[in-house]
Amino acid sequence: MHLNLRKYLLFFCVVLTSQCVLAHQPGQSYLYFRVYENRIEGTVEMTVDDINNALGIDLDASPYYKEKNQEIAKAEYPATWSQFIPDIQHYLKSRIKLRNANQSLNIEFTDMEILPLSRSVYILSNFRLNPITSIPDNIDIDYSILFDKDEKHRGLTIIGHNWQAGIIKNESISSLIFSPSNTSQTLSLKEKSLWKGFVALLKLGMWHIYIGIDHIFFLLALILPSVIRKRRMDDRMDIKPVESFKAAFWYILKIVTLFTVAHSITLSLAALGIINLDSRIVESLIALSIGLAALHNIYPIFSKSELLITFLFGLFHGMGFASVLGEKGIEGEFLALSLFGFNVGVEIGQALIVCVLFPILFFLRKKPFYKHILIYGSIFLILASLYWFVERFFDVNYLLDDYIGKAINKIYKIIGLK
């Protein structure tokens, strides 16, 4: 029995280890439209890392990183990168196709800028559309930026200004989200589409949980002990299964609620720019939170139980969620609605995870080997936590990650998660 259990645990660890490389990678590019009385302008925004990946070049963005507490602002495109402008513009034109009914709309680039952030730099390619004799009701968009290189990449389309639709200043709420399985969509220029934008942000929040394996691991560390009660007996840990479903469910409800409240607080504060921590530090602390929560399952290190851990580290996870919305300087009149939609998506994603994992754990709680699941599972989470901490804090990337990530993407396709 123990031999079989070890085999299952080994398989479980191998699968989850392969997931580690997919944690918290919200790769996104942006297509902005600004609609005026007789013209349409726009901007395509991609990080330098994504440009490098797309074109196979090696631009170094680090000299342009934003200093701590420095205001986020656009800057001139570096003269040393000017030789790559034709390649960048050709790539964008080949990956973005726009039509009005049966008429193709030509993207005419006007100038280039950069948006420096603390750990990345966006390249902004500004354009206008031709021919535009009158503002169309709809624009058909084919969008395939980076999908052949990164199947987890997402393209967000945002209407920044459109007076006839009542949109005056918007940099936060997305009208469309493109993915490898959804590359052709229609953008309405007449409709304000707040509901569509809300749903788009809701889906983005769910997607972020899906690719944020570190958040899933933290939840797993918290709910592993939900179906048992621990009591230290001299030199050993006495573990007894919870008898009633109600008691275990009440524990889960408190854990999920505290985690929600905590990360909602910091998600809002970070996205609004009220608090601003270095993303490297935030991501490193998120990694450590997994290990500490898992260690507490084996050897209690907090006197106030898991509730304190949940709230304290939930605050850091909220700042991690905000990296999707906040650091890029996203703002505007729809920011509150965007935050709400994204947060609801995160909660739905969390709820689905708990609904899948909790019944399984409850069913297994009386099995003799559940103690081993708790201990060995927590040990694995500690190791994953240390792996992520080293990778994030020291800013290193292991070559093995790329191969494992590609393998996992293929598995996702097979099981229908793509």
**Looking at residue 377, what is its pLDDT?**
93
| pTM, rounded to two decimals | 0.70
Dist CA 166 CA 168 (whole Å): 6
Query: What number is the average pLDDT over the span 238-249?
Result: 86
Looking at the fold, whether 18 and 67 belong to one and the same domain comes out as no
**Number of domains into which the chain is organized:** 2
Query: What number is the average pLDDT over the span 112-121?
Result: 90
Q: Is the pLDDT of residue 350 over 60?
A: yes
Question: Any residues with CB less than 8 A from the CB of 383 and at least 6 apart, and which?
Answer: none
Looking at the fold, whether 129 and 247 belong to one and the same domain comes out as no
Looking at the fold, whether 72 and 143 belong to one and the same domain comes out as yes
- Of the pLDDT bands very low, low, confident and very high (cuts 50, 70, 90), residue 66 is confident
Look at residues 152, 182, 203 and tell me which one is the last residue of a structural domain: 203
Dist CA 280 CA 278 (whole Å): 5
- The answer to whether the beta carbons of residues 109 and 89 sit under 8 Å apart is yes
Query: What number is the average pLDDT over the span 22-51?
Result: 85
**Strand, helix or coil for residue 388:** helix
**Strand, helix or coil for residue 186:** strand
pLDDT top residue among 302 and 153: 153
Looking at the fold, whether 145 and 254 belong to one and the same domain comes out as no
Looking at the fold, whether 253 and 145 belong to one and the same domain comes out as no
Domain that holds residue 97: 29-203
b/e sequence 344-372, b meaning 16+ C-beta within 10 Å = bbbbebbeebbeebbeebbeebeeebbee
Looking at the fold, whether 192 and 223 belong to one and the same domain comes out as no
**Looking at residue 63, what is its pLDDT?**
94
Residue-wise DSSP of 87-124: HHHHHHHHHEEEEETTEEEEEEEEEEEEEE-SS-EEEE
**Looking at residue 379, what is its pLDDT?**
94
232 strand-pairing partners: 237
Look at residues 203, 226, 243 and tell me which one is the last residue of a structural domain: 203
Question: Any residues with CB less than 8 A from the CB of 293 and at least 6 apart, and which?
Answer: 218, 221, 222, 306, 309, 310, 313, 381
Looking at the fold, whether 160 and 103 belong to one and the same domain comes out as yes
Look at residues 151, 177, 203 and tell me which one is the last residue of a structural domain: 203
**Looking at residue 5, what is its pLDDT?**
44
Calculate the CA dihedral of residues 20, 21, 25, 28 and round it to 10 degrees: -150
Question: Any residues with CB less than 8 A from the CB of 313 and at least 6 apart, and which?
Answer: 218, 262, 285, 286, 289, 292, 293
- The answer to whether the beta carbons of residues 338 and 172 sit under 8 Å apart is yes
Average pLDDT of the chain? 82
Classify residue 186 as exposed, middle or buried by CB count within 10 Å of its CB (0-12, 13-18, 19+).
Answer: exposed
Looking at the fold, whether 340 and 360 belong to one and the same domain comes out as yes
Looking at the fold, whether 342 and 407 belong to one and the same domain comes out as yes
Looking at the fold, whether 33 and 18 belong to one and the same domain comes out as no
Question: Any residues with CB less than 8 A from the CB of 246 and at least 6 apart, and which?
Answer: none
Residue whose tokens read 């899948």: 356
**pLDDT over 70 percentage in the chain:** 80
pLDDT digit string, tens, across residues 68-111: 667 778 999 999 999 999 999 999 999 999 999 878 999 999 99
pLDDT digit string, tens, across residues 160-216: 888 767 676 777 778 899 999 999 999 998 876 667 767 877 888 888 887 778 888
Looking at the fold, whether 57 and 131 belong to one and the same domain comes out as yes
Looking at the fold, whether 67 and 152 belong to one and the same domain comes out as yes
